[in-house]
Amino acid sequence: MAYFQYDCIVVGAGGAGLMAALYASRSASTAVLSKLYPTRSHTGAAQGGIGAALGNVEEDHWEWHMYDTIKGSDYLGDQDAIEVLCREAIDVVIELEHMGLPFDRTPEGKIAQRNFGGHTRNYGEAPVKRACHAADRTGHMILQTLYQQCIKNHVTFFDEFQVLDLIVEDGVCKGCIAYEIATGEIHTFHAKAVMLATGGWGKCWSVTSNAFTLTGDGAAICLRNGIPLEDMEFYQFHPTGIYKLGILITEGVRGEGGVLRNNLGERFMERYAPTLKDLASRDVVSRAIYLEIREGRGIDGKEYVHLDATHLGREVIEKKLPEIADFVRTYLGLDPVTQPMPVQPTAHYAMGGIPTDVDARVIVDAQNTPVYGLYAAGEVACVSVHGANRLGTNSLVDLVVFGRRGGRHMAAFANEIDLQPIQDRDREKRVRDQLERLLSGTGKEKVATLRKEMQKIMMDNVSVFRTGEGLQEAVDKLRELKERYQHISVEDKGKQFNQDLMEAVELGNLLDIAEATALSALNRTESRGAHSREDYPERDDKNWLKHTLIRRQEDGSYCFDYKPVVITKFQPAERKY
């Protein structure tokens, strides 16, 4: 039980959190709280690349990048924010290089770039080389480089501190409450500004590319504090996860020339996307795989297709895709140089999240009313630059562009205002009581069982294709699970390193997020980007060209609100690849 005071608190030490901390710490006292050691963050798992129109290999322009991102978003992305993303991408990638990031190089010594899904030249003509990469471990290099810079600049870290609640009073965020995993103590962090950079929530689903620790903590905490979540119905399934395991096989494989094949050996993407084929955007490719499987063309009648890279040759695979080769060899005992890889869509990325403006300030309504002192960046945030479907390589850009803007803004904000006193003295106690309740629970329900049931219903009913009926069933099931969650018991009663207890807390977060996702999906009666309703197969711009805001009310029920899409340069058009 201690009390800490900083100008700025950053929660999360992935790409977004570290970038924000680096910038905020330049002019304000800053601490980073992370439930993992920073270098364990899932940004390190990102493989393929970071998108920026550097034009190092062939002609490219940020306007083209902007167009591709908008089209990829199925016109739901906010175009003012997307413009910021694509313009600043160039300069932020150069900045990462200056920080020491070891990008691969072109023969002239410039940053190397490759093709990626949905990225095109001249407004959709043909694929363009825009993904800056360091083999297939780009995220690892970004995470390491940013952490190195933080160490160099003496940023203060509280490693293995799990944030359990925010302190928000009268529309002002004044800090957060954290659990020190090593000791089981609960601490209050009093601050002028707090940024949530806690990453995604792939663990809502059974097959996912996400880490065990991606449990949507930041988003769930907002929901419980009456802050709405935006566009939760848009969750991306990446087309190529390793069959059953969900481990990601980067789109870079297709960027280098790999193709998808069904049980007839047919390159089926030619039928679904005649121009970009295997490099069409992810929602399109994931749906195509589901349809192939549904029509009996999965391999051996099972729920997977083949990703074939055998024609690329050993040199390309070992040099440009070494991690992938290692995964496939380790987990499947297959050699991608000579054998195709079994893949299925895997739960991957949250387009939705905590609503923010382009300075990462959290906003609560269509009028962009901010919660003073509260920021969010990275996967947990929804700016919205990804709209209904994110393009590959655009998340890593999002992390560093908006992490940087948020870091700058929060430090400037903190330097302008005085520390606001915390009125409610009982917050810490309430958090402690909640943990005590979990610890003293004697119910029969087990965390692992509930989590598995949640993941199954989400995979079955809230994944690539959805129906009103299936979504309603999911909502009912999730309510049942939430009720049963009241009767769980935690076996470990200790104080030190009680991960059993933290997993129980995380399940509570996952259930809240899953419910908000299913409800938002049920509410949106159209198909757009990653949200495909079989009962409403068309995009409906007349009624649905708007963002969803879902908010939890005091009594636990939910209400919806909407926010217009910002359209500046590109009018919504039919989307063909």
Partner 1 sequence: MEVTVRIKRYDPEKDGEPWWGEYKVEVDETDRVLDALHYIKWYQDGTLTFRRSCGHGICGSDAMRINGYNRLACKVLIRDVAPVITVEPLLGLPVIKDLVVDMEPFFAHYRAVMPWLINDEPPPPRERLQSPEERELFDDTTKCILCAACTTSCPAFWLRGEYVGPAAIVQAHRFIFDSRDRGAVQRLEILNAPDGVWRCRTIFNCTNACPREIEITKAIAEVKKALIFSRL
Residues sharing a CB contact under 8 Å with residue 134, sequence separation 6 or more, in sequence order: 101, 102, 103, 104, 140, 141
Helix (H) / strand (E) element for 213: namely none
Least distance in Å: CB of 486 to partner 1?
A: 18
Task: By CB under 8 A, tell whether 328 contacts partner 1.
Answer: no
What are the tokens at 94? 């150069």
Task: By CB under 6 A, tell whether 43 contacts ligand FAD.
Answer: yes
Helix (H) / strand (E) element for 203: namely none
Task: By CB under 6 A, tell whether 175 contacts ligand FAD.
Answer: no
Nearer Cβ to partner 1 (40/297): 40
**Which part of the chain contacts ligand FAD (CB under 6 A), choosing from 48-56, 60-68, 527-535, 547-555?**
48-56
Pairing of strands 30-34, 3-11: parallel
Task: By CB under 6 A, tell whether 361 contacts ligand FAD.
Answer: no
Which of 98, 311, 425, 542 is close enough to bind partner 1 by CB under 8 A? Answer: 98
Nearer Cβ to partner 1 (443/564): 443
Bond before 41 cis per omega within 30 degrees? no
Helix ranges, 54-109 (H): 62-72, 79-99
**Which part of the chain contacts ligand FAD (CB under 6 A), choosing from 46-54, 72-80, 121-129, 272-280?**
46-54
Task: By CB under 8 A, tell whether 445 contacts partner 1.
Answer: no
Q: Which does 98 bind (CB under 5 to 8 A by kind): partner 1, ligand FAD, none?
A: partner 1
What are the tokens at 435? 């943990």
What are the tokens at 37? 């050691």
Token pair 């954290």 is found at 178
Q: Which does 141 bind (CB under 5 to 8 A by kind): partner 1, ligand FAD, none?
A: partner 1
Task: By CB under 6 A, tell whether 188 contacts ligand FAD.
Answer: no
Phi, psi of 488 (to 5 degrees): -85, 160
Task: By CB under 6 A, tell whether 395 contacts ligand FAD.
Answer: yes
Q: Which does 240 bind (CB under 5 to 8 A by kind): partner 1, ligand FAD, none?
A: none
* One character per residue 115-154, x = contact with ligand FAD (rule: CB under 6 A): -----------------------xx---------------
**3-state SS, residue 295:** coil
Task: By CB under 8 A, tell whether 37 contacts partner 1.
Answer: yes
Which of 9, 16, 347, 388 is close enough to bind ligand FAD by CB under 6 A? Answer: 16
Burial of 315 (0-12, 13-18, 19+ CB in 10 A): exposed
Burial 63-77 (b: 16+ CB within 10 A, else e): bbbbbbbbbbbbbbb
Which of 87, 110, 267, 484 is close enough to bind partner 1 by CB under 8 A? Answer: 110
Task: By CB under 6 A, tell whether 20 contacts ligand FAD.
Answer: no
Strands of the sheet with 341-350, listed across from one edge: 235-242, 341-350, 305-308, 259-261
Helix (H) / strand (E) element for 403: namely helix 394-416
- Out of 254, 282, 524, 533, pick the active-site residue: 282
Interatomic CA distance for residues 155 and 145, integer angstroms: 14
CA angle 206, 246, 356 (to 5 degrees): 75
Can you name the residues that pair with 190 across neighbouring β-strands? 5, 175
Could you tell me if 163 and 188 are in contact, meaning their C-beta atoms sit under 8 angstroms apart?
no
Task: By CB under 6 A, tell whether 248 contacts ligand FAD.
Answer: yes
Nearer Cβ to partner 1 (104/473): 104
Which of 3, 123, 331, 560 is close enough to bind partner 1 by CB under 8 A? Answer: 331
Which of 9, 20, 21, 46 is close enough to bind ligand FAD by CB under 6 A? Answer: 46
Task: By CB under 6 A, tell whether 11 contacts ligand FAD.
Answer: yes
Task: By CB under 6 A, tell whether 236 contacts ligand FAD.
Answer: no
160-to-37, 234, 499, 513 alpha-carbon distances in Å: 6, 30, 11, 23
* One character per residue 120-139, x = contact with partner 1 (rule: CB under 8 A): --------------x--x--
Token pair 């167009």 is found at 67
Burial 20-57 (b: 16+ CB within 10 A, else e): bbbbbbeebbbbbbbbbebbbbbbbbbbbbbbbbbbbb
User: Residue 92, CB half-sphere, CA atoms under 13 Å: how many?
Assistant: 28
Task: By CB under 8 A, tell whether 32 contacts partner 1.
Answer: no
Nearer Cβ to partner 1 (479/495): 495
105 is catalytic: no
Instruction: Return the residue nearest ligand FAD (CB atom).
Output: 14
Q: Return the active site residues.
A: 282
* Binding residues for ligand FAD (CB under 6 A): 11-17, 33-36, 41-43, 45-50, 138-139, 162-163, 197-200, 209-210, 214, 217, 248, 250, 349, 378-380, 392-396, 399
**Interacting residues toward partner 1 by CB under 8 A:** 36-37, 39-42, 44-45, 94, 97-100, 102-111, 134, 137, 140-141, 144, 148-149, 151-152, 182, 211-213, 245, 247, 323, 326-327, 330-331, 333, 446-448, 490-492, 494-500
